[in-house]
Amino acid sequence: MSQAPHTLLLVDDHPMMRRGIRQLIELEDDLQVVAEASNGYDALLMAEQFKPDLILLDNNMPQLNGIETLKRLREAQYSGKVLMFTVSDAQEDVTDALRLQADGFLLKDMEPEQLIEQLRQALDGQLVISPALTLTLATALRPTPENNACNLTHREQQVLKMIASGMSNKKLGNKLGISEGTAKVHVKNILNKLGVSSRLEAAVWALEHDK
Amino acid sequence: MSQAPHTLLLVDDHPMMRRGIRQLIELEDDLQVVAEASNGYDALLMAEQFKPDLILLDNNMPQLNGIETLKRLREAQYSGKVLMFTVSDAQEDVTDALRLQADGFLLKDMEPEQLIEQLRQALDGQLVISPALTLTLATALRPTPENNACNLTHREQQVLKMIASGMSNKKLGNKLGISEGTAKVHVKNILNKLGVSSRLEAAVWALEHDK
DNA sequence: ACGACGCTACCTCTTTCGGGGTAGCAGGGC
DNA sequence: GCCCTGCTACCCCGAAAGAGGTAGCGTCGT
C-alpha cells in the first residue's frame, strides 16, 4: 500500500468503545483514525478541521445525537462518507439516516473483522447495511403507520381520540350518537389505515403521535 | 509488582467494546483479562472455569441479561467481585443489581482511566458506583409518589409496560415466559391497583405517568 | 346522471378481555 | 415453626373486540 491511508473520524460518547474501534482499525495499513469526538458538536468541528474520508457515527449520544449530527454534516457540505454505528435498530433511526444520505447503518454487535470489511466497502462508495436490518428495512417500505396516518377521516380522528382516552365502542358510540356497530366499523377502518391490529396499538400510536 | 495479577472476565455482547476494555486493561501490570463472554450463559461457564477475581458485566445483552446473570452467579456461589457495566442508568437496574450484591455499577460513558481506578477499588473490596448515579440512587431511596401511588410489583410493572406497548395477554405472556392465564392475573391485579377497568386505560395511565 | 367516497346500520363468527374463584410453591418476616 | 406476599396456573362465564360481509343514504366532483 503505497497510497496514503483513508482517514477516519470516530464519534462515540463511550471512550471505551472508541478505544476498541481505534485499536482495531490501527491494525490495518490502509485505515487511519485521525480524530475522535465524544459528542455531535465536537464531531462537526473535527469533521471541518480534519475532513476525514469517513465518519463512524454513533447515534445514541447526549446533546446532539447521531441523526442530528448527520443532518448538520450534510448541511455543512461535508462530502465524506458517514456510517451510522449504533446499538439501536429502531426503524425510525434507520430510515431517517438513509434519507439523510448516510452511507451505511451498522449495528454494534457485529464482529470486528466485519467492521473493517464494511468500512472498506463504504470507502469504496458502497452502501453498507447490517444484515440484521433487512427485516426493519422491509417493514419500513411497506405501507404502514406514518404513511397512511393522515388519511384518517374527520370521523375516524374523533373515534381514535376517544379510543386513546380509553373508551369502549359502546361508550364512544353513545358519545357520538352512533350505534356500537357503527363505532366498530370506524375502529376497523382505523386499524386498517394505521396498520395495527388492536385498538390498544392504535391508542399507543395516537398518544405517541402528539394527540 | 511481584504478585500475580488480578484476573478479570469481560462480559459484553459487543466485540468492539470488549476489545476496547481489554486493550485498556492490558496496559496495566496488575490486571489481566483471562476470558471474555458475549452472553450470560457463556459468562456463567467462564466464571466457573476460570474463577476470575472480578467480572465486568454488561447488562444489556440478548438471551440472559446482566442482572439475571448476576443472580445466577450468586446462586452458583461465585465468590469473586461482580461489577455491572452498562449504558443504562435505569433505576430499576441499579437497585436490582445492588440488591443482588453487585460490587458496583458503572456507566459506560466513563473515562478509561476512571475505569481502571474503579476496578482496583472494587478488587480492594470497595463498592464502586458511577457518580452520575447519585441522583438515581437518591430517588430510589425516597418514597416518591410514583413508587407508592401504584404499589405495583416488579412483575406488574413489567406487564404494564408491555400493555402500554400494545401487547395482548398472549404475547406478553410468551415474552415473559408465562402462560396467558397468568398474564391475565397480572393484568387483573394491575387494573385493581390502578383503579381502572380496562387494559387500555392502564396503558394510557402508564404512558401519561412517564413510562 | 353517474360514480366515488364517507357515514350509518345490521349480520355472523372467532378470539380476546375482564371478573370471579381455587391452589401450589417459593421467599421473607414474625 | 408459621404467616403473608408474590408468582404461577388452572377453571368458568359473560362481555367486548376484531374480521368478514351487505346495504341504504347522503355529498361531492366529473
Say how far A208 CA is from D27 C1', in Å.
34
pLDDT in tens, A61-108: 888 889 889 989 988 889 899 999 988 777 678 877 877 888 888 988
Q: Quote the cell numbers at residue A83.
A: 456510517
At B139, the pLDDT band (50, 70, 90 cuts) reads: low
Are the CB atoms for B53 and B35 separated by under 8 Å?
Answer: no
CATH 1.10.10.10 fits A141-208, yes or no: yes
Q: Which residue is nearest to nucleotide D6 (CA to C1')?
A: B153
pLDDT (0 to 100) of residue B210: 61
pLDDT in tens, B71-89: 888 878 888 899 999 887 7
Q: Is B61 in the A-facing interface, judged by CB distances under 8 Å?
A: no
pLDDT in tens, B10-38: 999 999 899 999 988 999 999 999 999 99
Q: What is the mean pLDDT of residues A149-166?
A: 83
Least confident of A105-109, A192-196, B143-147: B143-147
Residue B44 has pLDDT above 70, yes or no: yes
Nearest CA in chain A to B88: A60
Instruction: Identify the residue with better confidence: A136 or A54.
Output: A54
| B14–A17 CB contact, under 8 Å | yes
Smallest CA–C1' separation from A152: which nucleotide?
A: C6
Are the CB atoms for B126 and B81 separated by under 8 Å?
Answer: no
Q: Is A17 in the B-facing interface, judged by CB distances under 8 Å?
A: yes
Angle between helix B66-75 and helix B91-99 axes, rounded to 10 deg: 10
Residue B104 has pLDDT above 90, yes or no: no
Residue B149 has pLDDT above 60, yes or no: no
Q: What is the mean pLDDT of residues B198-204?
A: 90
Distance, in Å, from the CA atom of A20 to the CA atom of A119, rounded to the nearest integer, reads: 15
Region of residue A152 (left: phi > 0; alpha: psi -120 to 50; beta: else): beta
Residue A209 has pLDDT above 80, yes or no: no
Smallest CA–C1' separation from A180: which nucleotide?
A: C9
Q: Quote the cell numbers at residue B95.
A: 437497585
Q: What are the extents of the domains in chain B? A: 6-133, 141-208
Best B36, B171, B200, B210 residue to mutate vs chain A (most A CBs within 10 Å): B200
| B24–A13 CB contact, under 8 Å | no
Q: What is the mean pLDDT of residues B119-129?
A: 89
Question: Model-level pTM?
Answer: 0.62
Beta bridge partners of A208: none
At A211, the pLDDT band (50, 70, 90 cuts) reads: low
Residue B211 has pLDDT above 70, yes or no: no
Q: Is B163 in the A-facing interface, judged by CB distances under 8 Å?
A: yes
pLDDT (0 to 100) of residue B94: 79
Say which DSSP state A124 is in: T
Residue A46 has pLDDT above 90, yes or no: yes
CATH 3.40.50.2300 fits A6-133, yes or no: yes
- CB within 7 A of nucleic chain C: A 153-156, 173, 176-179, 181-182, 184-186, 198; B 168-170, 180, 184-185, 187-188, 191-192, 197-200
Q: What is the mean pLDDT of residues A51-68?
A: 91
Residue B59 has pLDDT above 90, yes or no: no
Q: Which residue is nearest to nucleotide D21 (CA to C1')?
A: A185
pLDDT in tens, B165-182: 889 899 889 888 899 999
Inter-CA distances, B85 with A134, A138, B133, B137, Å: 30, 34, 12, 16
Say which DSSP state A77 is in: T
Say how far A105 CA is from C18 C1', in Å.
44
Of B112, B164, B201, the CB nearest to A19: B112
Residue B54 has pLDDT above 60, yes or no: yes
* Shortest Cα–Cα distance, B197 to chain A (Å): 9
pLDDT (0 to 100) of residue B142: 47
At B145, the pLDDT band (50, 70, 90 cuts) reads: very low
For residue A16, which of B3, B106, B50, B72 has the smallest C-alpha distance? B106
Say which DSSP state A81 is in: E
Residues sharing a CB contact under 8 Å with residue B48, sequence separation 6 or more, in sequence order: B76, B78
At A18, the pLDDT band (50, 70, 90 cuts) reads: very high
Q: Is A35 in the B-facing interface, judged by CB distances under 8 Å?
A: no
Beta bridge partners of B83: B56, B104
Nucleotides of strand D within 7 Å of the protein's CB atoms: 6-11, 16-22
pLDDT (0 to 100) of residue A150: 54
Chain A residues closer than 8 Å to B12 by CB:
none
What percent of chain B shows pLDDT beyond 70? 90
The answer to whether domain B6-133 and domain B141-208 are alike in fold is no
* Shortest Cα–Cα distance, B118 to chain A (Å): 14
Q: Is A115 helix (H, G, I), strand (E, B) or coil?
A: helix
* Shortest Cα–Cα distance, A188 to chain B (Å): 16
Residues sharing a CB contact under 8 Å with residue A119, sequence separation 6 or more, in sequence order: A8, A25, A31, A54, A56, A83
Residue A133 has pLDDT above 80, yes or no: no
